[in-house]
Amino acid sequence: MRRSLALLLALLGLGCSSRDLRPPTYDDDEGSSAPVVRADEEGEALPGVTEHPFVWKVSRYRRTSYLMGTVHVGVPLEVALPESLLAEARAARVIVLEIDPAQIDPQVLLARAQMPEETTQESFYPLSVWHQISNSVIDSIDENRLKRMRPWFTMMLVLQSLVKELHDGPAAPGMDMALAQLSREAGVSLAALETTEQQVDALASIDDATIAQMITQTLQGGEGLEDLQGLLEAYRSGDYDRVTGVLEEMQEATETPEFHEKLIVARNRAWLEPLRGHIDEGNAFIAVGLGHLIGEDGLLEKLREAGYIVERAD
């Protein structure tokens, strides 16, 4: 069964931002907020704006909010949203994200990413795969330190390396980072559905061997970049059926019941009450990974079941 790391772009804000997850050094202030640079400032030409953005109007009691499905890197915010919806975000009462990017602390991640004492992670992989992993992330972490990291942390580093390879250099800032900057520039309050620690704990609760197998099968299949490109192209197309098909195919190929329950179902369940609070208050602009919206366990269906009017924004 082929498993793909690309699915995580539609599920996790952590590690899918433009920020490096490398262990911190202490010669400079790596814990500070990373500057957000627009894609055109990095010399990367912007494609056309997505014709049918993945944004839904959610209404009840004559109050309306917007719910956006994101891919966390690979598509600049100004491509994902037309100016009319960017204006809605700037005029919102609050912008709600999975996590606050400013709260991503590399030192906290490093502390939680350590393997148990006197154990290392390379035994989870075939030797050829381990060499491929260590070579792909050498710019972020040396091999000896990498051995002491848990596979979930390695997975984030590998995903970042795939994104950089796809873009022939640093990718444009993730939508989460861009929306956080937009909130600061527009003076809009920013709220988070979970803490960085909660998102790390959800990922870290999955068995190390399961995560290592995902990495191995992605790299051995040689289809990591192809999967990533397919997801991003489907997203830019604005075609809901197409992007849903891509995500569902990835979920079927990637997920174990544990993965689905811990990274999708449990987190959606925890988010639903605060989401309803923001929506009922009105004028919220909410952005979460698109993988959290689709399917019978997705937030769109759960909101409909709770009596909200949910319709795709024009």
Distances (CA, A) of 288 to 61, 151, 191, 194, 201: 23, 24, 12, 11, 18
- Reference 218, options 189, 244, 253, 263; nearest CA is 253
Q: Write out the two tokens for 36.
A: 């957000």
The residue to which tokens 């010399």 are assigned: 43
Note the pLDDT tens digit of each residue in 129-179: 999 999 999 888 999 999 999 999 999 888 888 877 776 656 667 899 999
pLDDT at 267 over 90: yes
Whole-prediction pTM value? 0.85
- Alpha-carbon distance of 157 to 131, in angstroms, equals 14
Dump the DSSP string for 14-75.
Answer: TT-SSS--SPPPSSS-TTSPPPP--GGGGTPPP-PPPSS-SEEEEEETTEEEEEEEE-SSSS
From 224-228, 237-241, 242-246, the region with the lowest mean pLDDT:
224-228
The residue to which tokens 């809901």 are assigned: 240
pLDDT at 18: 43
Mean pLDDT rounded to a whole number for the chain? 83
Note the pLDDT tens digit of each residue in 189-232: 999 999 988 998 998 998 999 899 888 988 887 666 777 788 88
DSSP label of 270: H
pLDDT at 29: 39
pLDDT at 45: 40
Higher pLDDT, 59 or 256: 59
- Alpha-carbon distance of 14 to 159, in angstroms, equals 11
